[in-house]
Amino acid sequence: MSMYVGESLVGEGNEVAHIDLLIGDKSGPVGSAFANALADQKMGHSNLLAGTPNLAVKPSTVMITKVTIKGAKQAVQMFGPAQKAVANAVADCVKSGAIPKDQADNLCIVCGVFIHWDASDDKKIYEYNYEATKQAIERAMKNEPSIDDVLAQRDTADHPFYAG
């Protein structure tokens, strides 16, 4: 398959993590999206590689902001605990076999990350983004949820931001 799609929401409060991601071959549509994300930076939407300084994770992962970064505090949260969390989750998914190690150089990931403007607890930002990224990758690589699960749970699934 040329593209896997994953999603996960973990946590609560202003530190809640919501990850949307794509995984695919560097030569396919995800590779194009990856390159475009790095090449097309915009004010308030600084995309960055997941990792720690001088140690970018494999598969190569670009983090894209899902909300406008409005100040230095929020930027440091994205370029600190969220960046480290995403990188560690990707590396741990390779280590566990969720992402095949022999594909780590061929695949890339585009990872949408949400950091709330009022988030304040860096430890929770790390923990929630780590778990959400890990879950999103595992779901993507297993093609979960299945269409049968989507149809069966559609009318009973709760949305934390819509009481409807």
- Does any domain span residue 163? no
DSSP 60-73: EEEEEESS---SHH
Q: Which whole number is the average pLDDT over 141-146?
A: 95
What does the pLDDT read at residue 1?
66
**Does residue 16 lie within any of the structural domains?**
yes
pLDDT digits (tens, 9 = 90+) for 15-58: 999 999 999 999 999 999 999 999 988 888 889 999 988 999 99
What is the average pLDDT across 81-109? 98
Domain that holds residue 53: 3-146
Contact 25, 104 (CB under 8 A): no
One of 18, 45, 116, 159 is an active-site residue; which one?
18
Note whether residue 159 is domain-resident. no
Instruction: Tell me whether residue 76 is in a domain.
Output: yes
Query: How many domains does the structure of the chain reveal?
Result: 1
CATH at residue 48: 3.30.230.60
In the residue annotation, 18 being an active-site residue is answered as yes
Q: What type of residue is 67?
A: V
